[in-house]
Amino acid sequence: MSTTASEPAPAHDDPHAGHGHATDGILKLALGAIGIVFGDIGTSPLYAFRETFHGHHHLTLDQTNIMGVISLMFWSMMVVVTLKYVTIIMRADNKGEGGSLALLALISGRAGQKRWTAGIVLLGVFATALFYGDSMITPAVSVLSAVEGIAVAAPAFAGLVVPIAVVILVLLFSIQSTGTARVGLLFGPIMLIYFAVIATLGTISIVQSPEVLQALSPVHALEFFIRDPLPAFLALGSVVLAVTGAEALYADMGHFGRNPIRVSWLFFVLPALILNYMGQGALLIRVGESALVSPFYNLAPENLQLPLVVLATMAAIIASQAVISGAFSVTQQAIQLGFIPRLRIEHTSASTAGQIYIPLVNWALMVMVILLVLFFQNSSNLTAAYGIAVTGAMFIDNCLLAVVLSVLWKWRRRYSWPLLAVFFTVDLAYFSANLTKVPDGGWFPLLVGFIIFTLLTTWSKGRKLMIERLRESAMPIKIFIDSAANSASRVPGTAVFMTSTPDGVPHALLHNLKHNKVLHERVILLTVKITDSPYVTDENRFLLEDLGKGFHRMVIKYGFMQEADVPAALKMVKQCGAEFKMMDTSFFLARQTLLPSSRPGMMIWREKLFAWMLRNAESAMEFFRLPTNRVVELGSQVEI
C-alpha cells in the first residue's frame, strides 16, 4: 500500500467486486449494513444518556450538564466514529477485510520481522481477547435494556424483566445452528424502521424545546468541563456508551464494502442517533427527574410505549446477533492465523461463505451472557462493565493505526502526529474514566480479556515450540528418498502425509515406514499454509515440487477467511501425476503427545495448558475435511 508523503493512501476499488457485491447496488448494501453493522451502536440510546446522569457516577440534572453531555456525545460520534473509523481506519483494509486481526495480519505481512512487531502482535491479540468480553456483554446489556421498557410501559410486570430477557437470549443462541441467512433478510427493514422511529420521536421532542439544538456547538462541552471538571470526567465513562459498536463498522467491512457502510452511517444512522439523543435531552430539560428512569421510552406517548418496547427488543436481538456472528468470524480468523486450536466449524449457508456456526463458542457465550444477566440483574449495572472492553479496543486500534500511518502509508509527521494526538487523547480520556468503574463491574471484561489473551498466546507460542522440536529431529528429505525408495516395497495408490512444515520428513512417514515397511507408488508431503491475506485465488493456491522417485512436495495455501478443504483442493491438481481419487488415496496424520519439560520455552504451567488445548483440539481429519475411512493416525511424543 503506497502513497505520497502528505496524503492518505488512496482507497482501493470496491474490495468486493470479486465477492458478488459489485452488481448488488450500493443502496441495497447500505440497507444490509444498517441491519447488521449498526445494531450495537443503534441500541445505545436505550441506556447511554440515562447512565450519564443516573449511572454509577450521578451527574446533577440541570440544563448546563444536559447540553454538555449532548455536545460530548455528538462530537464523540464525529471524532471517534466518523473521522477515526469511517474516514481513516476503514481505508486500512486487508484485501477488503477489516477488524483487529485483519489489520494485524496486514501490518505483519507488510512490515516484516522488526523489533517492534512483536509488541504490535501482542496488542492485536489483546484487542481480540477484549472483543470476546464485549461479545458477552453486548447481548446481555442490549436485550436487558430493551426489555426493561416493560417496567415503563407496564410497571406491574417489572418483575418479569430478567426472566423474559433470559428466555429471549436462550432462544437467540439456540437458533444459531440453523444459520441467519433468512433472518438476515429481515434485519435491514426492521432496523430501518427502528432508526426512523427513534429519529421521529427525537424530532418531536426537539420541536418542543428547540434550544437543545445549540448543544451541537463544542462550546457547551467545554463549559461542562470548566464548571465541574471531576464530574464531567467521570461522566465520560457513560458518554462513551454512545459510540459502542464503532469497531463493528470496521470489522464488518468485508461483508458490505467501505462505501455502503459510509453511506448508511453519514446519511441515516448518524442523523437518527443525534436526533434521538437531543430529543432525550430536550425531554429532560422540560420534565426533569421524572423522565430519567428511561428517557428513551418516555419520548413516546404512553399508548405507544409497549410497541416501542417490542421494536427496541427486536433491534437489541439484531445487535446481539451481529456480535455473535462476529465472534464466530473472529474465532475462524484466529484459528487460521494460529492463535486458537482447531474447532469444529459448521457452514450454515451454501451460498454465503461467511455464514458459519461454531458450537463451542456459541454455547460458551450463551452461558456467560446468561450468568451476566442473572448476576448484574439490570442494564445499569451491566453498563459499568461495558465501557472497559470498548475503550481498550479503541485504544489498541489507535496503536495499530499509528503503525499504518507511519510504516505502511508513510504519512508525514506533521499530518499524522496531530491526528493521532487527538485520537489518543480522546480514547485515553474515555479509558481512564472507565477505569473508575472497575470495582462496579469493569473487572469482568478485563478478567475475560486476560484469560483469553493467555490462552491465545499460549497456543501460538506452544505451536512454534512444537514445530521447532519436530524440526530438530527431522531427516533431510533427499537422504530419506535415496535410502528408502530403493529398500522399501512399493504398493499401489497414493499416500498423503500431512506435515506442518514444508521441509524435512514428516514423522508420520518415518513411523509408517518403520512399522509397515512399505511405501505407496505416489507419496505426497502436504503442508496447508494460511496466509496473511483473507483470500487466496485458485490460481495461487498450490506450490508443487517433484522430489523424484514418486515423491512430491505440495503446499496448499488458504486465506485466513477461507476454509481448508484438502480433498476438494487435491481434485484441482493436474501437475502431480494421475488424477487424485479418494478411494485410492490414504491420508497419514501424526498425533503428538506433549511431554512438558524444563527446556527453555514456556513455563511449566503454560506447557501443561498447551498440552491440554492440543488434546481438546478438533482432529486434523475433521478440520481439513478428510474422508474418515481414508485416514491413518500415527502417534509420537514430543518434549517442549
Place of cell 458459519: 356
pLDDT (0 to 100) of residue 380: 79
Query: What is the set of domains in the chain, with CATH numbers?
Result: 22-460 (1.20.1740.10), 474-639 (no CATH)
DSSP readout, 10-67? PPPSPTTGGGT-TTT-HHHHHHHHHHHTTHHHHTGGGTHHHHHHHSSS----SHHHHH
Residue 167: pLDDT band with limits 50, 70, 90: very high
The one-letter amino acid code at 27 reads: L
Nearest residue to 132 via CA among 340, 415, 419: 340
CA distances from 594 to 348, 463, 475 (A): 35, 11, 20
- Model confidence over 196-208: pLDDT tens digits? 999 999 999 999 9
C-alpha–C-alpha distance, residues 392 and 430, integer Å: 9
Total-model pTM: 0.79
Worst-scoring range by mean pLDDT, 95-104, 189-198, 559-568? 95-104
Residue 185 has pLDDT above 70, yes or no: no
User: Mean pLDDT throughout 220-235?
Assistant: 89
Residue 318: pLDDT band with limits 50, 70, 90: confident
DSSP readout, 469-512? HHHHTPPPHHHHHHHHHHHSEEEEEEEEEE-SSSSS--HHHHHH
Q: Where are the alpha helices (DSSP H) in 493-565?
A: 507-516
User: Mean pLDDT throughout 462-484?
Assistant: 80
Residue 181: pLDDT band with limits 50, 70, 90: low
Residue 97 has pLDDT above 80, yes or no: no
Worst-scoring range by mean pLDDT, 4-18, 27-41, 411-425? 4-18
175 or 80, greater pLDDT: 80
Residue 508 has pLDDT above 50, yes or no: yes
Worst-scoring range by mean pLDDT, 13-22, 435-444, 548-557? 13-22
- Model confidence over 346-394: pLDDT tens digits? 776 555 555 678 899 999 999 999 999 998 888 878 887 788 888 888 8
